[in-house]
Structures are given as C-alpha cells and as structure tokens.
Amino acid sequence: MRFLADENFPGAAIIALREAAHDIASVRASSPGMSDQDVIDWAVRERRILLTFDKDFGDLARKMQLPEEPGVVLFRLTLPRPAEIGARLVSLLASRSDWAGHFSVIEPGRIRMRPLL
C-alpha cells in the first residue's frame, strides 16, 4: 500500500512499514512544518493513504469532500514502547485492505470507518 505519514507519525512505525514492503513517504522527513491542507493535497496528488495522530484531519477531510482516494487513518491509541510501535501499527494496518476511500479511526479495541464520499 501507499502511505503518507504525517509529521506526528512515529519514526519506528515508518521504518517498520518500509520493512513490510509498503511505499511510505514522510512529512517529517520531506517537509516538516507543512500545513494540514498541504499534507492532504500531497496525499491526494500521490494517491497515498494518510496516517496521522492529528484529529484535525477529520474535520478537514469532511470539509474538503476528499475524492474516493486516498483515505485517512487516524490513530487514537496510547502507543507502547518505541521498540513495539512499528510492529503494532503494521499489524493494525495489515488487518484490513480497504483503507482507501475511507476516513478511519483506530481506537483501542475497535476500528471505525466512514466512506469519504
């Protein structure tokens, strides 16, 4: 899958996703300080699923009426130790294949998904 990791996304998870053969770009590595609007534009332009811990993207996705792709995955989790972060997030993302086209919220014990359109 093609992902875009927001600036607040853990580096250990980015590394783990790359090791799991995912194509992942990083806002922190490429353009730290980028506006949320620019992050969404990047995800849409490159058809990447946005991975974030920033709740502001929920409102932004609704206001923008994003196209069916890319998709936004909002994590609302307390993360384990850094050594465990990557494996946990890779496992959560691997649990489904329909992230594109949805605004998804991953919380302890459940995943909520709404179509973007």
Average pLDDT over residues 58-63: 79
CA atoms within 13 Å, Cβ hemisphere of 66: 30
Q: Domain 2-115's class?
A: alpha beta
Asked if 50 and 4 count as a contact pair (C-beta separation under 8 A), the reply is: yes
pTM for the complete prediction? Answer: 0.90
DSSP 53: S
Residues 61-100 have pLDDT tens digits of: 777 776 667 889 999 988 777 678 888 889 999 999 999 9
Asked if 11 and 28 count as a contact pair (C-beta separation under 8 A), the reply is: yes
Residues 21-50 have pLDDT tens digits of: 999 999 999 999 999 999 999 998 999 999
Q: What is the pLDDT of residue 54?
A: 93
Q: What is the pLDDT of residue 60?
A: 83
Q: What is the pLDDT of residue 67?
A: 65
Q: What is the pLDDT of residue 53?
A: 92
